[in-house]
Structure formats: C-alpha cells, structure tokens
Structure 1
Amino acid sequence: MRHPRRPLRTLAVLAAVLFVAGGPTAPASALPAAHPPTPPAASALPTAAAPPPVLRAEGNRLVDADGSAHRLLGVNRSGGEFACVQGWGIFDGPVDDASVKAIAEWNANTVRIPLNEECWLGSAHIDPRYRGANYRSAIDGLVQRVQAHGMTPILELHWSHGRYTGNSAGCHDVHASCQKPMPNATHTPAFWTSVATAYKNDPEVVFDLFNEPYPDRATPTTAQAWTCWRDGGTCPGIGYEVAGMQDLLDAVRGTGARNLVLAAGIAYANDLSGWLAHAPHDPAGNLAAAWHVYNFNSCSDEACWNRTLAPVAARVPLVAGEIGENTCAHGFIDRVMKWFDERALSYLGWTWNAWDCSSGPALIRSYDGTPTPFGTGLRDHLRALDTREAPDPT
C-alpha cells in the first residue's frame, strides 16, 4: 500500500440481477446497498510498504507504470471459495495483518484470492453472515492488507453456479459448492460486473476470470472445448448456458475497468495448446494467459512445456496461477520454477493454508509462515530471488 490508510471503496453490487436461491432473480435496487468497510484502528494499521505496481501487458511481458518488467511470484490463499457456501465462515484460518505479513516475509509479491460467485452476489441460501455485503467487505479487507504489504492481489472466480453431472463432475449441486467445468451465463457476467466496478479505480488489483475450466471433459472434441471456452453459449455435454471468456472479459471492460486480466486454459487450466488461436479480444490490450500445473497433471514435464507453453509465453504474458505437488516435497515445483525463471515468467504456489500436506499441496504448518517441506522449497526459492524486478525474457 502506498499509505497506511487506503481510500475506502463502495462495494455495492451493480449488476442487473442477483441470484436468489430457489426463485427468480431480483433487481439489484431491491437489495440493500453494501457499506464500505470500517477502517481499522490506528494501532492495527501496518507500517506502509512500497505499493504494488499497476501492471499492464506489453508484448509478452508484464510491466509497471515505468515500463519495468515485473513478475508475479507468491502464493494462493484458499478459503474464500468454500467456507461461506459451507456455512461456517468466510476464510479458512486467519487473514489478519500478522498472517498477511508472514506471506510477505517469504519475499512473495502476489497473493491470489479465490472467490465464490454466490457468496459475493448474495445468494439467499447462504448464511447472511457470510454473503453479500459481509462477504465483499471481508474480501476487500484482505485485498487492502495484501496491498499494505506491497503485494499484488489477484481476485479469481473459483466456485460458481450451474448444475453439471457429466464427466469429472465435482458435485451435482446447482449451487456454487464445487468447481464447475465453465462459468454460467446467468450469474457469472453479473459477478464480474460487480467485482470490476468495485475495483476499476484500483488498478493494482488483477482479475483472474475462472479458476480451472474443463469443458474438454464434457465436449466430444478438444476443438469444441476451445470454442466453448471462448464463446460460451450452448456447449455439448454442459447442461446450463455457458459464459465464455469473451463474455466475462466484456463484462469487466464494460465497467470501464482496465485492470490486468488473466484467462486460464482448458483441462483444469493445464492445457494452453489452443489459447493463442482462441484468445478473447481485449479492447484494453491488458490480457495474460494463466496456467496451472501439478505433478499429477498431463502437461507436467519440460517437453510438454517447451511444446505448448513456450509459444504462448513468446506472445503474451504467462502466469502459472497454481503450482504444486502431492508429495510433501518440492522436487517437482523446483523443476517448474527453474523453467519459469529461465524465461522470466510468473508463478504462485498452492496453497497458503495450514493443512496436512500429505492430503494436498499445503505450503505452511501454521499461519506464522512455518513451512511444510513442500513450502520450504517455494519459500527458500522466493527468498533467493528479487521478486520486484524481472530480466528481459528476450
């Protein structure tokens, strides 16, 4: 943050409709307006760090306002996508200043924050304590604390509405209680209209349109999956109207927001083979490709990265929004980080949550930043890097 106390943002949802569970949509004017978050007491304010940069895509690089190359290097902070819809909170674990400071002490410069579409929009089936204005205010508080420690916040849509019962379905629930293959046309454009309206005057915030699209698990062909990914509409194998990446980007830009936007590929964001041919048109020219990789993914070796990632990275900025492994070690991400470092690319570890790393890629044992063996690899690597500048990849 450029100063200890940030100007407050009004987080009213300005979308035309909001979801009401079990019934029709209601106009936004019929719902109470969100109130800006209450500023913290002076004693709770952190010491101001240098502000995160305002980023833009310039060729295949991310650059700041001065034109200096910048890499997004850091962690994911999971919880905001699931706790609210499960009815027990907004975050999983603390998101106070001390816990955010612990992230910064790893020399991270970026925190990716997963969101839940229905919690943000205020779906009626969610506990009122964890939906709508309360949810948006809590998310904004975390955004401000991330910025206060000089780190870039990435807001991304993780769980969304839409009944999908096909191949690889995470759940059969119409509500946003699991990962769906694609965003939906009914609510997701409204979600991004609202988020972009809230942060269009805060260009330090980055938008990640949809966590891990997997239309390829539903459609008969990969070509159909990429068409669905970009254009949405009626997609084979998906029983709801899909919002494509172009629809979501249009929703963001329709608010006047010029923030950097990320668009992840198909196959749970692990396949970018059709990204360049199907990239949505961005009138602001501020779009980057997002990619995810774990040791158990299909594209998990250097030969695949050279074949499918390198052409994308040569044309547009590339951000590995999630890197991880299920081994409780860091041998795999060491290889990923080496490949990305050699090309001055960005990456974020999954995840800054104090979970048992044997059940999934958890970076920490506690929120004071004590790492798991997996997290030690990322922490030590980030501390050995200068995360504020990047060499010219050319």
Structure 2
Amino acid sequence: MRDRRSTARSRWAAGVLALLLGLVGALLVPGAVSAAQLTPQSAAQGTSVSAQTAAAAAALPARLRGVNRSGTEFMCVQNRGIFDGPSDAASIQAIASWRANTVRVPLNEDCWLGINGVNSAYSGTNYRTAISGFVSRLRAAGLYVILELHWSSGVYTGSGSNCSTYASQCQKPMPDNDHAPAFWKSVAGTFKSDQGVLFDLFNEPFPNMVMSDYNASWKCWRDGGSACTGFSYTVAGMQSLVNAVRSTGATNYVMVGGISFSNDLSQWLTYAPSDSAGKLAASWHSYNFNYCNSQSCWDSQIAPVAAKYPLVVGEIGENDCAHGYIDTLMNWLDARSLSYLGWTWNTWDCSSGPSLISDYSGTPTAYGQGLKNRLASG
C-alpha cells in the first residue's frame, strides 16, 4: 500500500490505473480472459485446491496472520524520527492482544544503508539498531516478523509516481540495482540466524506501468537489467535479490510479490525466480479497489500459485472505512488456511490509510474491527 504521504486522490488514481492494467494484462496473456468472464471453480475443484494450499502453507514457520506496522519506511527520510508512534513492549503487546502472530515492517533503503543524505540520527547505524531492537522485541513477544523493502532509490516520474528524486523518498516501480542488492545482503546478514524473520523482497512492483508489453514486464520483474526498457535507472530483478539474500548464507523464507502493486499473480508461476534454499513464497496484496478483487479471480489466479508455493497476503484492506471486502476475502483465505496481514496498525484516517486502530492501545476502527474479530475467532 502507498503510505500516508500519498493523497487519497492519488491512491484512487493508482488503484484505477492498476485495475485497468490488470484488465489489459488479462487480455494479453494467451488464453486469458477478463475477471468479469471468469467463473468460479466447481465445489470438487475447490476442495482439491484447498487441500493443496493447506499443505503448501504448512511449510512456513506457521500460518501467518497479523498486521503491518507502517512508519519505518518514511519517517527517517522526512527527518521526523524512525517510528510513527510507539515501538515499545506495551505497544507490541497491544498487537498481540488481537491474537496476531505476525508483524510486517516496511524498511527504507537509504535509511538502512545510511546513504543519499539522510540525517545520520535516523539512518545508518542508528536506523539499523532501532530496527534490530524492534525486531527483537517483536520476537520476544512471540511474533513472527516480515521485513520488506518499501522505499528504494531510482528516478521515476511516470504513472503512479509520488516524487521525482533519485533518493528513497517514495515508492518506485522496481528496486534499483545500485543499492537494493546491497540492502538485502545487509538485512539478510543481520537476521539470518532467526528463521522467525521473513524477507519480503519488494513491496509492490509495478513495471507494467512503465512497459507497454505485459509479458515483457514480467521478464523485467524477474531478470531486471536490460530486460527492463523505459526505466531511467538500472533495475534489480527479483532473481538478483533472491541471490543477494542467499549469498549471505541466509535460509530464511523470501517473499516475492507480483506486478500491478503485487495484486497480479497471473504469470507468477511462469516467471518465478529460482531459490537455492527452496524457501520461496509468493506475496499477494488485495484491496477492494484492485483488479483482482473477486472470488472468480482468486480462484483462477491466486489459488494455483498457493497450490504450489506458500502464499502470504502481505496486505489486505479497503478504503471505505468498513470491513465487508476483507470479510469476504478472509472467508476465502481461511477456507484454504492461507496467511494474511491487515494494513495498517497506525492511527491514521481509516480511508486514507486505511488504518486498523484509533489508538495504540489497540482500539479498532470500524474497518479494523473486521480483522480483530477474525483473528480472535482463531
């Protein structure tokens, strides 16, 4: 999800554009049809897929259900600190009180590496120490942690852009080869001794908003470099980031999101990077304004991926301050024992976040009540 720096208008525009790109992508994939033309699987087929997905999900450390904790991707480059709100043991216990077992923590490339002019008080050693301490407190509370690269370097001013700077001051369509591999080598080297920490390699890729050829955008997604045309910076593909993590000896699970802001997994199985450790997981994001927002799409596009790889829905949400969409989605995910995390455990306006809570003691918003109820039900 785009963070609170993005306006509601820009989020809606990005959502609509991603919807259109998804529809175009479906028409370009050989044999594919639009979401409106897809039909749900039969009950017998659904049972088969459900059994397969349960087996795949069991390979993860656990079934991961919880929340995102935004702030560490943007506060540091805005010279406002490192965390947006408290990060102490009491605030973590509030998360655990919802019966969450996982927290996803977005990171900033420049702040972690201490580059591109970020205030040293909030970057480099100070940032890494703060993040490591937060992870330690989360783990001590019995929570799994997903670390993800949210903001990275590279000049991008096209569709979906919120900044024109090279520095990691907003979301970019793909990770940069200048620093992203070094970022993941450092992060993986720091946390490789703890299998309860997972690595989500890049928050929401959208190379298909840069490249007009849909299939070529998937090749760019995996291979980076010369496979990515139209970019003003050299792209690091998902394969190079997997390799960067494994070069440290880390065997932690790595999560890889698809294109169209991690909502499109239609070609994920075709272009999935190889993993020498055999611990690759698919990452999917699902909001009410995304292209793939119906059961027919979930049955046809998401279930086949989950049948072959562990799948984690790193972000679920809706921007109407209600929980009707995520209730329907969680029903589908729970039936398949799949993992999911709500965006976001921050006290923002529920439509512009969307935010799960109104205070850090864990009082839910109307939207957050849906996730809280579901987690409490076991």
1:116/1:308 Cα in 2 relative to 1: closer, same or farther (>3 Å)? same
Work out the CA distance in 1 between the residues paired with 2:251 and 2:125: 24
The gaps in structure 1 that reach 5 residues or longer are 1-56, 386-394
Distance 1:225 1:58 in 2: 31
Equivalent position to 2:114, from 87, 105, 122: 122
Contact 2:146 2:199 in 1 (8 A): yes
Q: Relative to structure 1, is the Cα distance of residues 64 and 303 closer, same or farther in structure 2, using a 3 angstrom cutoff?
A: closer
Q: Which runs of 4+ in 1 moved over 6 A?
A: none
Q: Percent identity?
A: 58
Q: In structure 2, give the amino acid aligned to 1:283.
A: S
Residues 356-378 of structure 1, C-alpha deviations (whole Å, 9 max, x = no match): 11323100000000110111110
Matches within 5 A, 1:204-223: 204-223=196-215
Give the structure-2-normalised TM-score.
0.84
Deviation at 1:59, TM superposition (A): 6.4
Q: Report if the CA contact (8 A) 1:159-1:179 is conserved.
A: yes
Q: CA deviation at 1:179?
A: 0.5
Q: Which residue of 2 aligns with 1:230?
A: 222
Residues 207 and 89 (structure 1), Cα distance of their counterparts in 2 relative to 1, 3 Å cut: same
Please name the residue that 2:142 is paired with: 150
- Given candidates 39, 47, 58, the residue that maps to 1:62 is 58
SS at match of 2:189: helix
1:97 partner letter: A
Residue 335 (1) aligns with residue 328 (2): yes
TM norm structure 1? 0.81
The answer on whether the counterparts of 2:315 and 2:342 sit within 8 Å (CA) in structure 1 is yes
Counterparts of 1:178 and 1:377, CA distance in 2:
29
Return the match for 2:340 from 332, 339, 347: 347
Cα gap change, 1:200/1:111 in structure 2, threshold over 3 Å: closer, same or farther?
Answer: same
User: 2:165: which partner in 1?
Assistant: 173
Q: d(CA) in 2 for partners of 1:334 and 1:233? A: 40
Partner of 1:377: 370
Letter in 2 for 1:278: Y
Shift of 1:169: 1.7
Structure 2 residue aligned with 1:93:
85
Q: What is residue 306 of structure 1 aligned with on the other side?
A: 299
Which digits, 9 at most, give the CA deviation of each residue in 1:236-277, with x for residues without a partner? 221110000000000000000000110000000000001000
One-letter code of the match for 1:329? A
Cα deviation 1:103-159 (Å, max 9, x = unaligned)? 000000000000000000001511111000000011011101111111101100000
The 3-state SS of whatever aligns with 1:377 is helix
Question: 2:277 aligned to 278, 284, 287, which one?
Answer: 284
Q: CA deviation at 1:82?
A: 0.2
Residue 255 of structure 2 is matched in structure 1 by 262
Aligned AA (2:217): A
Aligned AA (2:328): R
Q: Secondary structure at the match of 1:357?
A: coil
Partner of 1:294: 287
- SS for the counterpart of 2:337 is coil
The answer to whether the Cα contact below 8 Å between 1:166 and 1:237 also exists between their aligned partners in 2 is no
Query: Which protein is richer in helix relative to its size?
Result: 2
Counterpart in 2 of 1:356? 349
Q: What's the offset of the Cα at 1:60?
A: 2.0
| Deviation readout 1:274-331 (Å, 9 max, x if unpaired) | 1000010000000100000111111111111111001101111111000000011100
Q: Does structure 2 conserve the Cα–Cα contact (< 8 Å) formed by 1:59 and 1:315?
A: no
Q: Distance in 1 between matches of 2:236 and 2:315?
A: 23
SS in 1 for 2:284: strand
Alignment match of 2:174 (pick from 167, 182, 205) = 182
| Larger relative contact order, structure 1 or 2 (CA cutoff 8 Å, min sep 6) | 2
CA offset at residue 58 of structure 1? Answer: 10
Report the AA paired with residue 78 of structure 1. Answer: S
Take 1:124 and 1:246, find their aligned partners in 2: how far apart are those partners? 25
The answer to whether the 8 Å contact 1:231/1:243 transfers is yes
Shift in Å, 1:175? 0.7
Q: 1:296 to 1:64 in 2, by over 3 A?
A: closer
Q: Residues 187-198 of structure 1: matches in 2 within 5 Å?
A: 187-198=179-190
Task: Output the CA distance in 1 between the equivalents of 2:274 and 2:163.
Answer: 32
Quote the offset at 1:64 in angstroms.
Answer: 6.1
Structure 2 contact 105–146 (Cα < 8 Å) conserved: yes
Mapped to 2, the partners of 1:298 and 1:375 lie a distance apart of 23
Structure 2 unaligned runs (5+)?
1-52
Cα distance between partner residues in 1 of 2:56 and 2:76: 37
Q: Measure the CA separation in 1 of the matches of 2:244 and 2:108.
A: 17
Letter in structure 2 aligned against 1:202: D
Q: How many residues align?
A: 325
Deviates more, 1:167-176 or 1:129-138: 167-176
RMSD: 1.3
Quick check: 2:60–2:310 contact (8 Å CA) kept in 1? no
1:135 matched residue in structure 2: 127
Are the counterparts in 1 of residues 146 and 200 from structure 2 also a CA contact under 8 Å?
Answer: yes
Aligned residues of 2:138 and 2:144 also touching (Cα < 8 A): yes
